[in-house]
Structure 1
Amino acid sequence: MTRIRKNPNQVDLFPFLGKEQIPYQFLRQDDLIKANNPTILEQIAQHLGFSTQTDPKNNGLTLLLQHPFLAPGTIEARPYALSAVNQIYDDNGIVILATGLGKTFIAVLQIIRVLKKQPQKKVLILAPTKPLCEQHYHTLKSALVDLSVRFITGRTGQKKRLKLWQDHQIIIATAETIREEIAKNSGVGEAADVRLLIIDEVHHLTGDHAYAHLAKYYRDYQPAIQIIGLTASPDPDIQKLEKLRLLLDVKPSCVVAKFDTDQDIIPYTHDRLIKPIFLDRVHTGIQKILKQKFVTVLTKETTILATGLQLDLSRYLYFNQEKQVVGLKIKSWNSLLGIIQERITQTTEENERKKYRHLLMTWALAMRWRTAIDRLNKGLTELARFLRRQMIEDAQHAKPSRTMFIQHDTTQIAMYALMSKHLWPMDYSPAGTRKIVAIEREQRAIATQDRKLHAIKYIINDHPGSQVLIFTQYRDSVTKIVNFLNNEFPRLITHRFTGISSQIDDPGMTQTEQKEVRKNYMKGELDILVSTSIGEEGLDFPAVDVLIFYEPISDVRRYIQRLGRTARHTSGIVYILIYKNSEEETLHFASQAKGRIVKRIIQYYQSLEK
């Protein structure tokens, strides 16, 4: 496939202006921009223990860092990166930096500084997933010389872990694995061994996440440890970010926060055009009828809950123009579960406890109806697969809320309607090939009434030769999109990308299969990748030209992570498919508003540098 690549010579490092000296003290990135002098970069690099040389491959326009531990030509002397290391120096820190701008290389510089001073100590890098651990391992192996690097994950043999820990200076590991080893007192993860702890995707450090436990453990048992958190997607709630900062014992001035539109970042970014596409939704007769029935039931269940709890639940819900409940705000709704459970615990009267247990069932039922509505909004095929799984799973292992949901008159009506249109996923053997073909044609016709599929077709035709990545929320939607694209573009190679699953009809992909697909996609052997959320975080897809959101998402952190899959090494374009006058519009505008909040938070932390 032919790719359009940005001219690597377009980045122009600062011309000499004659300023000869700067004090060896904290220097803000704004000062670097104002100084406009590569001599400053050289002096900061020297202060941090590095030397520099011009890059002969780029006509001397860029400076490269040099160090005995650093592979030649690996890291460019970028002002924001050097300033970040200088700003944190030997303190704890948090680096908020857009994807593709080198958070890992900032970590590399600090690793070199620490191990140069204390080679007998270890650096521990925590990542949330095994694929991210492997990615960091390959990055560090290519960037570092004379420093031993290894990764330890849940798939590493139990007997091998201690030796790997003892024999290597830099260990990359999943948080759960290290937490498990510390609990066993195996010697792996021993606090006394670690001088520098780097937490990748540090926004996960909340609640009962292994990150939170490990951060507390290392702070309690290794007072001399330095902790640095890395993220591209901070929480839009500044109180949560401040809680994270305090948990890691980070000074406000050691929060390095940069936005991709900042003056010193722009020369190192690539153009990313974001185009929301608003579509008119065309519901089939069945969809209209079922949507109204589902909404009526969800409204009834949430009313029962509000009355029983004597709470105004409007902030937990999405409404349509008729003031009916069409969806749940999941984070808020999950917090409501805690309120119900607390009342059950605190109530001593048996009748009251019985009432709240019933409300707990109502809460769970509302969740199932919300999911049914969400699947119906995606399409009848998604709804059919969801209902069938609910039915089979309940037959295998009954749960009260699921049984009530399956046996509800509205659910039974939906199942019958789907079967009548041959959309119920089942093993059938109708007599005659002609009938099979007729059924498949009818199924395809109903599935392709989803206008988003035709929008995707238009986008792909509009970008010939481009590598495309499509994100969608559900595996069933992945299946529908892949089937559609295989039918419409038989000459293009389309592949699904999902996590492992325990679903009845979809085992998902093992980590080995995921690794193979990622490798083939990065080599350009796949044209289109259709992914669930597993492809959102951290993974480097360097050649994505076109990114498509099959639906908008309200979680701004996931939104930022998705955007980061394109325009990492080349320019890219992002399409967000949104149905007009629907919950999707609400979600889209909510994510945009949260994005503006994140930018203000970054500006706040930048102001603390001054």
Structure 2
Amino acid sequence: MESKYINHPYLKENTIEHRLYQETITASCAEQNSLVILPTGLGKTLIAVMIAALRLQKMSGGFIVFLAPTRPLVLQHAETIKSTLRVDENEIMIFTGEIPPEERIERWRKAKVVLATPQIVENDIITGRVDLKNCVLLVLDEAHRAVGNYSYVFVAEQYLKRAVNPLILGLTASPGVEKEKIEEVCKNLNIENIEVRTEKSPDVLPYIKEIKVDWVLISLPPSILDIKKILENALVKRLKTLKEEGFIESYNIKTISRKQLIELQSQLAKERQTQPSLFELMAKTAASIRLTYALELLETQGLKALQNFFNKLEERSKISGSPRGIKDLLTDDEIINARIKIKNLIESQVRHPKIEKTLQIVKEQLSQKSNSRIIIFTQFRDSASEINEVLRKENYNVERFIGQANKIGDKGLSQKQQKEIIEKFKEGIYNILVATSVAEEGLDISECDLVIFYDTVPSAIRYIQRKGRTGRKRPGNVILLITKGTRDEAYYWSAKRKEREMKDTLKTMAKTITESLKEEDKQQIKLEKYLQEEEKEKAITIYVDNREIGSDVVRELTRLNVKIVPMQLQVADYLVSEKVAIERKAAEDFLQSIIDKRLFPQVKEITSNYEKPVLIIEGRDFYGKHAVHPEAVRGALVSIALDFKLPIIWTTDPQETARMIHTIARREQTERETKIYVAEKVPGSLKDVQERVLIGLPGVDQTLAKRLLCTFNSLEKIFTAPEEELSKVRGVGEKKAEKIRKVITSNYNEDNQAY
């Protein structure tokens, strides 16, 4: 009798059941770059595991890289791989930002499977910490992200160039609506084969669990409608001015979108370079954008979210150099009136009716099934906090699940905290999660019975992802809360329409995709591999400030086969020789550095420390987002060129900047054969000089230098201290103390021996 489980040398026994559609897709994707589009809950990760098993068996000495966009997803996939793939757990490496770069080098060498977020792998490729030569499979979860400058694009491109036997597997439940976007994903990943299944595909139908979708229309009370009217009047007043000046066709707030206003803002920014009089219109456009956002918060989220929005604007208005438009908006009589009304309503315990409806739905669900798992999705942290607070007051076991980013007055969750919350939700310690978008992508919360959309999003991808949190192992329910006659309603129908369009597009594309990767594209990859090998012998080295790592410029330099050495530079962004250092500023950064008075100290530092410094200014859009007078910009440029004699090179974009830096470096290193000298800032005091003397010692940074000086009080005492005394200082230890003593006591040798 045939086993119900798949038997393979690289798969653990009794872990993956036979499913025809999974095995068919695995066979199809095992030898060609593929994109797998499969509804949530149908085992995309297990398909990746089966292909990994095939590749590891076929190619001895190879390793797998599995990427996911968030840390919780990385940890989830790691659990799946550890429980299914027959690989020593010591050879399964999970890379997070908490692991030091030096430690990752050794882990890369030992790994059979690496799981990470793409930014970490991108940085390791750029800095030469990883050799992808023997990587036999690159898995990209949520592959629809492989567009634009997202790290998936760069990692896939470099992988195809560097690996001997490359294979890419992209996984997604929702690749997007537009045919062009899907084609871009396929092009960026060199996809040769698409495997598509929908809920109605015959081979997956037996495994689909029913998801019941209901939507609840909610009406705003008169008190909130009153504030809505005030905000709309403030918006119309500004739109009328824009219409009178001929920049928009109508001031009807139902027909003008935030997207149109953002495009107009960009247009005005460009035209203002030659027409300074457009400044007032730019301010009105910026205010209009903020008012559309405020209206969306009021309609879909509630009073507290709107109050927090205005409070944050007020805090921003107090910062030097903040846009004048913010102050103009906050001093508008209508906005002042609206804020007073908002404050009074909140103090009177008036809430958005969605809050009461959410409470009612939760009560009904838990009365029917007390151990239910419920996820409530909202776009905004403020709303998540309010919902969480209300449910806790009702004694529900609820927790907020948000991302890691820290925001003003709201600290994000650490990777450890996110993992703990998911585990407690699965175990039933919490049975309600109030989640932002971090929980939308891929998280396997199989026990979820009910998903509540507190708000709707106009994205087919996010709609599908939210809905996919339920109906995985048993039937599930989705309830959408929609404020009648508002953006909520428009967003819902937009998402539904886009979902239908996406399915139609995929049906067509799946049939024609095999033609998308032309033979010349494959030849181009081979040619690039050859050229890369040729260039290795004459590689150019550039020292790059840590803050620039991960930028588009550094990505492009990597494509040009430059050896990137990351370090914390006190002066300049790029060092190409002992004489030439480069400071790079995008147009917006140039303006900001004028506002916060960083520009001239930076110019002074680079001209004082290097014989041939260069300033690269990227772009010429000086009048977009900051209220800096054109004369101030011209004055700064003249001073840089004449007073400091600092050459200015203009480039159009990061790619041209990289090519310019490459040309300068090649001239310095191959034609002149000069060495690279790393300068520090010119010390301004005895204390600075003492610290900088110590920073030259092994493993001693500025923090440790200060600690040593505070402990021993003088350089003389540090240099004469025995190893055991040095090792007692926090951050030194025995090994570092030994190296420090060796440098201090060893005779000078011009042969440059290693220590």
User: 1:419 Cα shift?
Assistant: 3.4
Matched residue, 1:383: 306
Matched residue, 1:202: 143
Q: Contact 1:327–1:373 (CA<8 Å) still a contact in 2? A: no
Q: Contact 1:278–1:579 (CA<8 Å) still a contact in 2? A: yes
Q: What is the aligned counterpart of 1:163 among 106, 113, 128? A: 106
Matched residue, 2:540: none
SS in 2 for 1:537: coil
Q: Do the aligned partners of residues 98 and 397 (structure 1) sit closer, same or farther apart at CA in structure 2, a change above 3 Å counting?
A: farther
In 1, Cα distance between the equivalents of 2:50 and 2:362?
Answer: 44
Superposed counterparts of 1:243-392, under 5 Å: 243-251=184-192, 254-279=193-218, 281-285=219-223, 287-305=224-242, 310=247, 323-325=252-254, 328-330=257-259, 338-341=266-269, 343=271, 349=274, 352=275, 354-355=276-277, 358-377=280-299, 378-392=301-315
In 2, Cα distance between the equivalents of 1:448 and 1:126?
Answer: 41
Residue type matched to 1:407 in 2?
Answer: T
Q: Contact 2:227–2:341 (CA<8 Å) still a contact in 1? A: no
Q: Do the aligned partners of residues 406 and 311 (structure 1) sit closer, same or farther apart at CA in structure 2, a change above 3 Å counting?
A: closer
Q: Do the aligned partners of residues 523 and 371 (structure 1) sit closer, same or farther apart at CA in structure 2, a change above 3 Å counting?
A: same
Q: Contact 1:257–1:605 (CA<8 Å) still a contact in 2? A: no
1:229 matched to 2:170: yes
In 2, Cα distance between the equivalents of 1:258 and 1:528?
Answer: 31
Q: Contact 1:327–1:370 (CA<8 Å) still a contact in 2? A: no
TM-score computed with the length of structure 1 as normaliser: 0.78
User: 1:324 Cα shift?
Assistant: 2.6
For structure 2, which runs of at least 5 residues remain unmatched after alignment? 515-755
In 1, Cα distance between the equivalents of 2:261 and 2:442?
Answer: 28
Matched residue, 1:102: 43
User: 1:533 Cα shift?
Assistant: 1.2
Matched residue, 2:706: none
1:452 matched to 2:346: no
User: 1:297 Cα shift?
Assistant: 2.5
Residue type matched to 1:500 in 2?
Answer: Q
User: 1:168 Cα shift?
Assistant: 0.7
User: 1:510 Cα shift?
Assistant: 2.6
Q: Structure 1 stretch 362-371 or stretch 546-555: which is displaced more?
A: 362-371
1:548 matched to 2:452: yes
Residue type matched to 1:406 in 2?
Answer: L
**Once the two structures are superposed, what CA deviation does each residue of 1:458-490 show, in whole Å capped at 9, x if it has no partner?**
5435643211111112112112212222233x2
In 2, Cα distance between the equivalents of 1:96 and 1:360?
Answer: 43
1:535 matched to 2:423: no
Q: Do the aligned partners of residues 151 and 362 (structure 1) sit closer, same or farther apart at CA in structure 2, a change above 3 Å counting?
A: farther
Q: Contact 2:247–2:264 (CA<8 Å) still a contact in 1? A: no
Residue type matched to 1:581 in 2?
Answer: G
SS in 1 for 2:481: strand
Matched residue, 2:711: none
Q: Structure 1 stretch 87-96 or stretch 507-516: which is displaced more?
A: 507-516
Superposed counterparts of 1:19-168, under 5 Å: 54-55=2-3, 63-146=4-87, 148-168=91-111
SS in 2 for 1:191: coil
SS in 1 for 2:11: coil
In 2, Cα distance between the equivalents of 1:211 and 1:449?
Answer: 38
User: 1:293 Cα shift?
Assistant: 2.0
User: 1:417 Cα shift?
Assistant: 2.1
In 2, Cα distance between the equivalents of 1:307 and 1:129?
Answer: 47
Q: Contact 1:520–1:526 (CA<8 Å) still a contact in 2? A: yes
Matched residue, 2:623: none
In 1, Cα distance between the equivalents of 2:115 and 2:278?
Answer: 46
User: 1:204 Cα shift?
Assistant: 0.9
Superposed counterparts of 1:588-599, under 5 Å: 588-599=492-503
Q: Do the aligned partners of residues 263 and 376 (structure 1) sit closer, same or farther apart at CA in structure 2, a change above 3 Å counting?
A: same
Residue type matched to 2:220 in 1?
Answer: V
SS in 2 for 1:470: strand
User: 1 or 2 for the larger relative contact order (CA 8 Å, sep ≥6)?
Assistant: 1
Q: Contact 1:536–1:558 (CA<8 Å) still a contact in 2? A: yes
Matched residue, 1:409: 333
1:486 matched to 2:384: no
Residue type matched to 1:366 in 2?
Answer: S
Q: Do the aligned partners of residues 355 and 156 (structure 1) sit closer, same or farther apart at CA in structure 2, a change above 3 Å counting?
A: farther
In 1, Cα distance between the equivalents of 2:50 and 2:278?
Answer: 55
In 2, Cα distance between the equivalents of 1:306 and 1:73?
Answer: 68
SS in 1 for 2:5: strand
Q: Contact 1:448–1:454 (CA<8 Å) still a contact in 2? A: no
In 2, Cα distance between the equivalents of 1:142 and 1:406?
Answer: 56
In 2, Cα distance between the equivalents of 1:374 and 1:168?
Answer: 48
Residue type matched to 1:584 in 2?
Answer: D
Residue type matched to 1:404 in 2?
Answer: D
Q: Contact 1:453–1:484 (CA<8 Å) still a contact in 2? A: no
User: 1:447 Cα shift?
Assistant: 5.4
Q: Do the aligned partners of residues 398 and 376 (structure 1) sit closer, same or farther apart at CA in structure 2, a change above 3 Å counting?
A: farther
User: 1:607 Cα shift?
Assistant: 4.2
Q: Contact 1:282–1:451 (CA<8 Å) still a contact in 2? A: no
Residue type matched to 1:170 in 2?
Answer: V
Q: What is the aligned counterpart of 2:118 among 171, 175, 178? A: 175
SS in 2 for 1:503: coil
**Once the two structures are superposed, what CA deviation does each residue of 1:141-186 show, in whole Å capped at 9, x if it has no partner?**
111113532111212122210111110111111111111122222x
In 2, Cα distance between the equivalents of 1:74 and 1:599?
Answer: 32
For structure 1, which runs of at least 5 residues remain unmatched after alignment? 1-52, 56-62, 424-438
**Once the two structures are superposed, what CA deviation does each residue of 1:232-263 show, in whole Å capped at 9, x if it has no partner?**
11110011101221222222xx1001112211
Residue type matched to 1:525 in 2?
Answer: I
Matched residue, 1:193: 134
Identical pairs, percent: 28
Q: Contact 2:153–2:189 (CA<8 Å) still a contact in 1? A: no
Q: Contact 1:298–1:325 (CA<8 Å) still a contact in 2? A: no
Q: Contact 1:452–1:550 (CA<8 Å) still a contact in 2? A: no
Task: Say how many residue pairs are matched.
Answer: 509
Q: Contact 1:296–1:324 (CA<8 Å) still a contact in 2? A: no
User: 1:389 Cα shift?
Assistant: 2.4
User: 1:503 Cα shift?
Assistant: 3.2
Q: Do the aligned partners of residues 67 and 369 (structure 1) sit closer, same or farther apart at CA in structure 2, a change above 3 Å counting?
A: same
Q: Contact 2:359–2:391 (CA<8 Å) still a contact in 1? A: no
In 2, Cα distance between the equivalents of 1:343 and 1:77?
Answer: 62
Q: Contact 2:220–2:352 (CA<8 Å) still a contact in 1? A: no
Q: Do the aligned partners of residues 514 and 310 (structure 1) sit closer, same or farther apart at CA in structure 2, a change above 3 Å counting?
A: same
Q: Contact 1:127–1:199 (CA<8 Å) still a contact in 2? A: yes
Q: Contact 1:198–1:229 (CA<8 Å) still a contact in 2? A: yes
In 2, Cα distance between the equivalents of 1:463 and 1:227?
Answer: 46
SS in 1 for 2:457: coil
User: 1:303 Cα shift?
Assistant: 4.8
